[in-house]
Amino acid sequence: MFNRETYQQRRAALVRQTGKGLLVLPGNGDSPSNYTDNILPFRQDSSFLYFFGLDLPDLVGVIDLESGEATLYGDDPGLDAIVWTGPLPTLAAQADGVGVTHSAPLSQLPDRLRTARQTGRTLHLLPQYRPQNRIRLADWLGINLREVDVLTSPDVTRAVIQLRAVKSLEEIAEIENALAITKQMHLTAMRMAQPGVTEQSIAGAIEGLAWAHGRRQSYAPILSKRGEVLHNHHHDNTLVAGDLLLNDSGAESPLHYASDITRTIPVGGRFNDRQRAIYQTVLDSQLAAIAALKPGVPYLDIYELSARVLIEGLKPLGLFKGDTDEIIHSGAFALIFPHGLGHMLGLDVHDMEALNEDWVGYGEGYQRSHDFGRKSLRLARPVQAGWVVTVEPGIYFIPTLIDRWQAEDKFTHLINYARFADFRDFGGVRIEDDILITSDGARVLGDPIAKSIAEVEACVGH
């Protein structure tokens, strides 16, 4: 945990920004896998971690938004729990560690909540993404499941988003700590990327590396030579000379801050000419986007800039033609770049998206598009100093998408489909880094991880 003052300051900042009532913040419980006692690895709720720091199941935090008083509800470990799981800290000791002076058994929570409602106090909830917590809240409050969502408080949720968005120095140190392991994971994948090696063995090696450092991966890795399948969690191919291996993987820090890195690797250590051209275009796009990031610049503009660099790089290859502005604004570019440019990063890899993706990334004059490609942009509003965001452009050749658009004669004055036929088997390239917005620009977090063509080729075993 951070020092108790960190959690006290975070709660005090929330109280300053909000008005009346009580915020009820359930931590997560254990989740069964295939039967009750076979549980999935425990992951605490990120907002609970942010305000209460405690990494154990079945705790609930309540913050009185008027008095500022916080209470931790939970149960002291009984003898049975100690026999089966070993010694555990008392509830009071846990509360004290995060600067909370009031603690009480969970059985007292329903009375507190019902009394608060009866005396006209507003109960605030953040959006609930786990059915288990929704059911527990309904039970404690004596309401039905649908009514739980009615208690979601837009104002308090937006205040939480504003606080969690700006990272302190100790949070940035956590993300960089996660990146240190992540660098080893990526270098390991590069070293192993040889003909005859299975994707699964590389996926296993990088997961093992995280585990060996006591870490979990921050999301299920996307590690495949079929990089054009955007969320490809299958690792069932064997690498062949000439393949490109896309590796999108990251680790959590000890306090559960995420990293999120993508590198694309030439199997055997040499990009061929076609791969070299596409890779360099993606790299140019990523570097241009990072260079343009500074406080006040809408992330939407950075997205369009990155798409522009991609299209300018593809024109000499004969894939696109005509006016670049039109290619961007018509949506034709989404044929090769169908996802957004990035997202915030923090306690969640897509930070705070459980709190409402559009409240995190849009608002204040930014309306999410419904267009193919553009609708996948998760972040559009102006970036602020202290935010950590990813920048992850890519170029993909998705045969089903190309065929569909061609059959529909989409954008035939902008897209040279005959040339796309030469790239059907290409796969995809993505390059992703984690970026801190500084007072006057942006900084790539962590030790640099091989990224230029020469650097990546040098890291692949020969």
Which residues of the chain form contacts with ligand GLY (CB under 6 A)? 219, 248, 260, 349, 392, 432
Positive or negative, the CA dihedral 162, 389, 42, 152 is positive
Q: Distance between CA 395 and CA 298 in Å, rounded?
A: 22
Give the chain's radius of gyration (CA, Å).
Answer: 24
Binding mask 423-442 for Mn ion (x = CB under 5 A): ---------x----------
390 counts as binding Mn ion under rule CB under 5 A? yes
Minimum CB distance to Mn ion smaller for 141 or for 261? 261
Rounded to the nearest whole angstrom, what is the least distance from the CB of residue 41 to Mn ion in the complex? 20
Rounded to the nearest whole angstrom, what is the least distance from the CB of residue 251 to ligand GLY in the complex? 12
253 counts as binding Mn ion under rule CB under 5 A? no
Residue 415 dihedral angles phi and psi, to the nearest 5°: -120, 130
Residue 122's contacts (CB-CB under 8 Å, 6 or more residues apart) are 20, 21, 22, 153
Bridging pattern class, strands 394-396 and 428-430: antiparallel
Binding residue (CB under 5 A) for Mn ion from 176, 243, 252, 260: 260
Q: Let me know if 179 is exposed, middle or buried by CB neighbors in 10 A (0-12, 13-18, 19+).
A: buried
252 counts as binding Mn ion under rule CB under 5 A? no
Look up residue 191 and give its two tokens.
Answer: 């070293």
Rounded to the nearest whole angstrom, what is the least distance from the CB of residue 440 to Mn ion in the complex? 25
Looking at residue 429, its amino acid is V
CA-nearest of 293, 319, 322 to 306 is 293
Look up residue 457 and give its two tokens.
Answer: 């080729």
Q: Distance between CA 53 and CA 399 in Å, rounded?
A: 46
| Residue 304 site contact among ligand GLY, Mn ion, none (CB < 5 to 8 Å, cut-off depends on kind) | none
Binding residue (CB under 5 A) for Mn ion from 45, 207, 228, 248: 248
Closest-approach residue to ligand GLY (CB): 248
Give residues 261-280 in contact with Mn ion (rule: CB under 5 A).
Answer: none
Within its chain, how far is the Cα of 347 from the centroid? Answer: 8
Rounded to the nearest whole angstrom, what is the least distance from the CB of residue 219 to ligand GLY in the complex? 5
Minimum CB distance to ligand GLY smaller for 245 or for 332? 245
Window of 65-73, 252-260, 304-312, 402-410 that interacts with Mn ion by CB under 5 A? 252-260
Rounded to the nearest whole angstrom, what is the least distance from the CB of residue 392 to ligand GLY in the complex? 6
- Note the residues at the interface with Mn ion (CB under 5 A): 248, 260, 390, 432
